[in-house]
Amino acid sequence: MTPDSAIETARGWLRAASRAAALTGAGISAESGIPTFRGAGGLWRNYRAEDLATPEAFARDPKTVWEWYDWRRGLIRDAKPNLGHYALAQLERRMGDRFVLITQNVDGLHNRAGSERVLKLHGDIWWTLCTACGDVRSDFRVPLPELPPRCAACGGLLRPGVVWFGEPLPARTWEQAEEAARTCDVLLVAGTSAVVYPAASLAPLARRHGARIIEINTEVTPLSGEADLCLKGPSGEILPQIIES
């Protein structure tokens, strides 16, 4: 199949779909200039991400953990959604509640592009969670005026509203993601290596329930051999081509 015919096939599947879903990963954010913190340049002050993004690290040294997140928030603030983000927001506007966007990213770029129906499997770096009273709210200040920050409701210690290594995904969000995978006719998988579980189980789940899988990635992944259609290239180039306005 030629690249042009593959694009046209993907368009046709989306046009015919009663329900569609998308799963996005770090690749789509990397196209906006956000570094993948587990990559070769992922060291910060000689710390590995795996040594900071844990409940144990936060219990031991919340100030250092928050300094790392404050630094990351600064990088993300300066980034902008790319055409892939905007294309998915356009698909939501076209399909309404028949489309669900599932993301492993915590940067909020999908929201900034206009997406509203977003299931955030790993939370959101712009959310804070009180370790004392459980209050969750958004805080977009960069830098934060106090590290570690304190809860406006009770004065308790705040933590980033993200899922750390060793923590389960938010149960309700995961249930909704599985439901979206089970009920969609087409699942777009964009910018994810398809190796991090449980998110990597969504494409096989969708396929078992009859969905067509369209993979968009710059590299071959473990999912490539199982996908119905593999479109090789950046999400920011390919998604706008297959998601018509």
Which residues are catalytic, by number? 122
- What is the DSSP code (8-state) at residue 194? S
Q: Is 120 helix (H, G, I), strand (E, B) or coil?
A: strand
Q: Give CA–CA dist 132/72, Å, rounded.
A: 24
CA dihedral 196, 215, 229, 114 (to 10 degrees): 140
Q: Give CA–CA dist 5/207, Å, rounded.
A: 22
Distances (CA, A) of 105 to 123, 178, 243: 8, 17, 21
Q: By CB neighbour count within 10 A (0-12 exposed, 13-18 middle, 19+ buried), where does 242 fall?
A: buried
Tokens of 166: 């060793």
Tokens of 109: 């770029």
